[in-house]
Structure formats: C-alpha cells, structure tokens
C-alpha cells in the first residue's frame, strides 16, 4: 500500500479533527494507507495530540500529502511553515514532483482567511512540483456549507471560542478531499 501523509499543525484541536476526516476519506477510497503526522510546536504549552512528528524521510517517501493548518493572520501557522522551510533538499532532489497533494484549514471566523490560507499552503507544494487536488462542485456540500470548505480544500469555522462543532458539510468536504487525493495516488500507481 502506498502511504499518504496527513501532515498538520493544530493548537486547539480543530485542524486535528479535520485531519481525521481527511483520513477517513482516504480509508474509504481503500487503496492507500493514511499516516497522521504533525510538526514540532513553537511553544511547549501547545496541545500534545499523541501524533508522531513527521520525519523528512517519511515525506520524501510518501506517495501523496494532505497539509493542514489553522489560519494565523490569514496564512498558515509558523510551526508548519518552519517545517516546510527545512525541505529544500527535497526540492533540490525533486522528491515530491508529480505527487498529489491537498490542503485544509480551520479559522475562527467565516471570512477570517480560509481561502488565503489554503492558497498559501498550496504555494510551497507547487514549488515542490506537487499536483494540487481540490474539491469539485460535484461535492454537493460545497453548495450547502455555511461554514468552511471550498474548491481549494477542506475547512472548518470554529467560532471565536472554538464552540462550533465540525459540521456535517465540513466533514463531507474533508472526506471528499481525502477520497479524491487517494484516488489520484491510486491512478498514478
């Protein structure tokens, strides 16, 4: 089975929750193995999710990647960016070229920068030569979600105190993203 890494950073657990739904979509597709991974937090008091820290070798050897981050001032969290900035050797070797990738995020507010964050996460992946997978409008929940989720990737709107549960539409969009990512990995073989 080919490995698809779901690499995310989450300080309050909402992006972590979305990551589990992306994983479930990969499992539904059935041909690939999802691996949940995180990055070293910048501060010690951030949530320990019991998820392993990614190793560069794992990233190098993966067949696909889903990248998740909370929105921080309209862009990805520094901890995730810091990890990405250690990957120039993989960029030089072309290790990630043509591998499918997808992105997801969580914001506290509806217009708090979901799409800018998703696009900011897509940029380094495009530099790596990865093939970006989004969510087409054949996913009906894209029309129905009053929270997160867009053609650019998965999303959740958590509320200012994290009070919103992940909605069924946000779950379906995240699952659909995982399923689609996995089916592209399967097609590439």
Q: Which residues make up the interface to ligand FMN (CB under 6 A)?
A: 10-16, 70-74, 106-109, 112-113, 158, 162
Cβ nearer to ligand FMN, comparing 14 with 128: 14
Instruction: Say how far apart CA 184 and CA 14 lie, in whole Å.
Output: 26
Q: Residue 71 CB, nearest distance to ligand FMN (Å)? A: 4
Cβ nearer to ligand FMN, comparing 151 with 162: 162
Q: Residue 73 CB, nearest distance to ligand FMN (Å)? A: 5
Instruction: Say how far apart CA 24 and CA 17 lie, in whole Å.
Output: 11
Cβ nearer to ligand FMN, comparing 72 with 175: 72
Nearest C-alpha neighbor of 169 from the set 151, 146, 152: 146
Which stretches within the chain are classed as H helix?
A: 14-29, 56-61, 78-84, 88-93, 114-127, 141-144, 168-188
Q: Residue 108 CB, nearest distance to ligand FMN (Å)? A: 4
Instruction: Say how far apart CA 22 and CA 140 lie, in whole Å.
Output: 17
SS3 state at 63: coil
Cβ nearer to ligand FMN, comparing 64 with 113: 113
Q: Residue 154 CB, nearest distance to ligand FMN (Å)? A: 12
Instruction: Say how far apart CA 70 and CA 95 lie, in whole Å.
Output: 26
Cβ nearer to ligand FMN, comparing 13 with 129: 13
Q: Residue 113 CB, nearest distance to ligand FMN (Å)? A: 5
Nearest C-alpha neighbor of 105 from the set 77, 128, 126, 143: 77
């Amino acid at each position: 089975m080919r490995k698809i890494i779901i690499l995310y950073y989450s300080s309050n657990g909402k992006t972590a929750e979305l990551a589990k739904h992306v994983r479930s979509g990969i499992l539904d597709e059935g041909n690939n193995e999802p691996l949940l991974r995180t990055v070293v937090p910048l501060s010690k008091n951030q949530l320990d999710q019991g998820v392993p820290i990614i190793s560069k070798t794992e990233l190098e050897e993966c067949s696909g990647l889903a990248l998740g981050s909370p929105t921080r001032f309209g862009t990805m969290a520094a901890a995730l960016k810091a990890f990405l900035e250690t990957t120039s050797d993989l960029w030089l070797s072309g290790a990630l070229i043509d591998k499918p990738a997808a992105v997801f995020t969580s914001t506290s507010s509806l217009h708090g920068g979901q799409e800018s964050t998703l696009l900011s996460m897509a940029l380094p992946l495009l530099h790596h030569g990865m093939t970006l997978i989004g969510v087409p409008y054949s996913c009906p929940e894209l029309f129905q979600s009053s929270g997160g989720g867009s053609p650019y990737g998965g999303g959740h709107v958590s509320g200012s105190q994290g009070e919103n549960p992940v909605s069924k539409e946000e779950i379906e969009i995240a699952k659909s993203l995982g399923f689609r990512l996995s089916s592209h990995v399967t097609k590439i073989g």
